[in-house]
Structure 1
Amino acid sequence: MSNPLQILALLSDPLLNPNGQPVDRLGLDQEVSRVRRQLAALNRAADLHLLIATPDNLLNTLRDHGPFDLLHFTGHGSDGLLAFEDGQGGTFPLDAMRLQAIFTPLGQPPCQVAFLSACHSESMAQALLAAGVPHVVAIDGDMAVFDVAARAFAAHFYPALLAGKTVRQAFEFGRAAVLTDPDTLKACRLEAGRNPALAELVNLLTGQQLPPPDALNRLEALKFKLLPEPPSPLGRGVGGEGEADPHAIAPFPTVPTGPLTLFDLPPYPETLGASLDYFTGRAADWRHLIGLVRERRLTTILGFGGMGKSALAREVGRWFARRNLFPGGITFIALGNRARAEEARLTIAAELKLNPAVTESDRSLARALPPDSLLILDELDSLCAEEPRPTRALFEALRDYSPAHVLATSRQATGAAGEQRYELVHMPAATAEQLFLRLAYERVSEIRGSRAELQEVLQFLDGYPRAIVQAARQMFSPDLSALLADLRRAKEEILHDPDLPPEELRDHESVLITLNSSLRRLQQRDPDAAAFFPLLAMFPAGLSEAGLVEIFGPAARRQVRTIKELSLLELSAPLDYYYLPAPVRSFAERRLPATALGQYGPAALSHFSRLAGELASLLTSGQIELGVVLTSLELPNLYYWLDWGYDGEQTTGDEACLTARITASLRNFYTMMPLLRAEAQQRSQRALASAFRLQDRAGQANTLQSLGDLAMRVDDLKGAAQRYEAALTLFSQIDAKLG
């Protein structure tokens, strides 16, 4: 061999699977970097071509550069499929038939050696074998593999091949690397702790008694398969004659000395900065934005300060850059300290190194932007607040006259016609937990505490990324109880970077500073809306628009919409309630007027009495699952107002005690929720006392009936009979009076 070895590395890292669910990220950059270092150290001439694995990319590369000596695929897999990318952030499930069709036009094998570094890839190896590839490494068809194990294998398999070893020898070098790799052993230790039964099963099947981490480490090495397998055990053919091992040959015995030449993916633009190690949990948002940015000229990510808008915009930019989907360039421009549209024009021109003359007007700047480029304009908050009309005009010009696409981030929209708005809301609970634990482990080596303590911490952080980051930084000791005590005492006020003096903290380093700056903008924009904002703290589960009008009147619609426009609340799924994440609600609650509960309590109780009745009717009409789910979602609001109403409600007379009516409406819900039985008993007793205080016999009767139902649930037949009898007496008195 006199020419450099030709290696094609196909990399697939989709954000979502075909069902729209987030996919675990694989850390492709780390794998490629490790293999590249190992190959470069050999001083063997090789060309390493990196390619994002889409069917179109593979067809084009085989046409222009194929065949290759080595083919490597890194990505996800399942039985009979490799997870290629679809070019939009999603998954293209490539089956054996389609993979074979891609290889067919070559008229010869696409490579000499292939490694399918994907879970369950053994079934897909058949497509490569059918295409004439003599040596294929794949993962056992029934098993998944640790990413770290696949990296360790590749980092020693390929260098052994380039060093002139046989395929069998290179394969065994790879397996040995899996058994001796510290990261793989660490992953096996964690898995042994989670799944001790698996280690026992491995020992049973192998007839050995290895420690659980070692048993799983051995299993991990055995998952790698070299295909085709010999027709019989090596060295023992039929009749005692040994069969030749098809892999006992060195396909590249004389690779010339020389450098490793890398044909890399397009680089990340410097303006995007370094990727956050802890960026997680936004795959669906990421995928959605990829589609919007490609389809629309102007897209704005909206959300609370600290919700992760800038980080998400940067990651979208990185994704596009690696796939060269904006060949005119991708530029991230921070506009957070720009309050005038003219200043924004000058900053954009300077970052893009344009002639300053183009900043004379919005249109001239727009026309001067590079074609097929993406501009990420970050933090438009001051621009939108200080100069809303000029800012709108600038962005309309960028949309109408620019050959570039624009992705912006802001707490409020620019108002430009045709602006595509994307609202970023708080993270799902599972993702928030993952992020908090990952960051906390960077501060302390272990975390001590109960599951209940962790849940209380996460409940307060409520999926708010900046709050999660700053709470993790408050982990000065491994004990969750210490952090929890601080959160109970100071709440959002402790959510800041503890490594900086208070006077030096900036917006992104403190939740409190972020919220104060948002509130100041709201006060400047609409003082009435700013005065209304604290009232939303009275609804921990959020509030529907119908409830908003019932409790506060039609004028509240305008105020709440203004608050939402400045990203101080969000619409929460699945009910589209106006909702404050817990740290924001705590911030608002500190500003709640002392008279607010008494002023709005009667209207709130009236609204929730009606709503509780509707929820109860779902349970009695057979829509049990829906009724339980909706009641559970509403429960924080019901409890908040019941806790006030048990002592604060004032109207007297039959049917007057709304707290008793609401509590009684929860009767059927409580009977289906055994874990809430003690809560139900306590609240029913308080409701009964409230009904007596307000001289509401109907309320007393309904509550006694609820207490009777609860007694029946614990087989207290005597107690149930007493309460039912007392309720019946009251109902009879009310009927006699009505008659």
Structure 2
Amino acid sequence: MARESFVFGSFRLDPAQQLLTKNGHPLALGARALAILALLAERAPETVGNAEIMARVWPGIFVEDANIRVHVSGLRKALGEGHGIVNHPGAGYALSTPVRRCGEEAGAALPDAAAALLGREEALAHLSESLARHRLTTVIGPGGIGKTSLALSTAQAVAGRFPEGVHFVDVSPLQDASLLTGRVASALGLRLADADSAAELAAALRDRALLLVLDNLEHVVDAAAVLVEELQAGAPGLCILATSREPLRAEGEHLYRLPPLGLPLAGEAERDPAGAMRLPAMRLLVERAASNDPPYALSESEAPLAARLCRALDGLPLAIELAAARLGSFSLPALLSHLDEALSTPLEGAGPAQARHRTLTATLDWSYGLLPPAERALLDRLGIFCGAFSLEAVGVVAADGDDEAVNGPRLGAAMAVAGLAELIDKSLVVADLSGEQPWYRLLDTMRHYAQGKLAGTALSARLSRRHAVRVLARLAELATPSALQAEQRQAANRRLLDDVRGALDWAFSSSGDLGLGLSLATAAGPFYLQLSMAGEFRRQAGRALDAISAAPDQHQAAEMGLLLTLGSAIYNTDGATPAVFDAYSRALALAEALGDVAAKRRSLWGLWLHAFGLGHYAESLTYAQAFSACTPPEEDPLHVRDRIPAMSLHHMGELRPARELAEQALRRRPPQGGNVLGGYQFEHRVAILGGLSRVLWLQGHADQARAAARDSLEEGLKGGHALSILFTLNLGQCFIAHVSGTPEDARDAAELMLSTARGNALPYWLRYGQVYRRAAAVGFGEALDDEAAFLHGPPWNNGQVELIATLGLGYAHPQGFARFEGGEVFWGLPEVFRLEAGRLAGRDPAGAAALLDRADGIAERQGALAWRLRIAISRVRLLGSGAGSARALEAVLSRFTEGFDTPDLVAAHRMLSSATMRAG
């Protein structure tokens, strides 16, 4: 068994050697720190508890939790921001960046090459050397010559050179060249905010040392050239091996023209049959024939005929394999006779590449013609699949139903299954048996051949419809909560992606089905968001909406459903933009016209979300009240009618009614099982507890606030729903850790938010994480980058401006000051005015005192005891303990019944003790 190591970002950890490297350079770390890191890497992305860490790192010894914190602190410094370790309060630690296991067999994750590579030793050596000297190497040659097999074998041979291994991307199913970047990102397991951005993909790969194999680029050469040039410019550790029937013509491209397999010269097999049998083309024929059932053993006496066969097939590996699969059914002389006839038509004026392509086509025609009718029919039908397919999918899509009217021979499910096995034996279908479930696929050449047989037929239309219906069913299955782990679900999503695209392309074509296409586009929304391909979903949704515009009255329900999905997609990538408002407003108008109450509720919720995201809390409350008005409690199992007005009131500073509604919603537990989101984006208890934690803290209940924030985050992490986790981190754990915890707590929460937002390609939420991380840096006394650049860089929304001001990170933001001075009130306004009073005190003490009075008046009306305590502390600190300031602080402090270990209460007690001592 190969020694296992772990790769994350630009780091490689080898536990056996107790070695951590960054870009190949060793980092100095102690044995126990490395042991902690190894345990976290082994268990990634899971959270590892303190008890388990102690048992691994300090076996048989009792140590305090502080020992873990000390070593984790050292690890964080070594790893740096973006690749750190996050603390999940009450649960333990986890790595915040994706981890890949690898070892000496670093190419094991590659697709299997069809078999041991025969006769390609020289080509393999050339490519291995080329990859050491060139960052882009393209293998070119006609179809069937073995480009993919050579690329895979080369990748396996050189995988050890690349710390982050090899990643293989089959581009053949891609019909739209504009989707190439997204396909590569998806294959790499990367989530991009803009799945079409080559620059963003290059940035994501900037510090990664890996080999990227891009297979079958001939139909997207222009897009491929642009992409690889961008990747080479932005990712210096990246090496690319491409295959294509023609050059990419990209800057820095090194070309390798793959020749046919070595063949015996005319008469050579007669003179030296043993030597001829050792040549690559002959060896391939011998080995493939020997693998038949029953095996066919070629003898040296048959060498002259075998040599004629290989020369007739131009040394093309795929053509030789197809012919070899027929030995046994035919004698070698009979096989040669059949092929001579199939290949007899000359191709005038053809060059070598054209001649070889014609040879392959003729061989495919010949092999196809030998199939029994049922197997021919099955092969044709398998061309409908754009990617890998399961046995179950063959039965549903390729087979005819018992009650289905069929023109021509019927292909039943049992016949289809039996036929699939035969096609595998004849090298016409490839089986992948490496996972728990077998998957099947057609080689690119064979898929195009099969599609050509069906093109324009009535059967093609029928199969396309079956395929689209099956894809729609799979989308529904993947959207339903199940026992699948997140990684398994993502693998299933990626496997289905090409078929989703193919089904949508057919449905919106002139021969498709618009209604089915609209259903597919709507169902594909969550699917694309899971893959962080919002850009592609917007294009698909745009195509669907354009199709609807030709006859809007006929598809109002479909348009409404599509708009609801589109609004959510845009919000979670771009935030509360006008496009979100437009989508939900149009959906609301359609819902009212159709009398669809459920869609009306979702539309009102979306409009609430848009207003809330803009910081227009009074407006959001209006939408929340409209939602409640059309939603009786018995029709609201997720209690959205309580949740969203509670959020609006909370942010308006109306803490008492906000808390009452939140606690009322918590008492009504949602139903178990099924879709826990119900189309409302955030998990019920996670969202309510997160918001409630901040309300509790503001009211002076710090212990209850910390418990609510912890419970909310734990439930969110358990459910694994990224949006719910980010929502509660923003309102709950990040804020509560900042105001009631240690600097380490605040940093851990911020790092978790950053890693979750990055990992799910959600830039809207990433901005909140950046605010909290900056606040944590202030707590640590870290050097900050330019404040002006932070405040006046990319635009912040009002909610983010409020947070920046409340956390003391800047008040002079152009979006903020005028708004606050204009009388608009929000939950953090007393703190904003208190902080501004501190800035004002040195030059205008009277103005500072007036601003503190104003802040205290707002906090008193809100019932925000926590803000009143901070204001009282500032009075003593800025204005002295006279004039009743100390007594006012004591009066506020006496109202607290919990949270005595929090920084504010500790500071208040110390301040009062100091004032008392001075007075004495």
TM-score normalised by the chain length of structure 1: 0.33
* Structure with more of its chain in helix, by fraction: 2
* Structure with more of its chain in strand, by fraction: 1
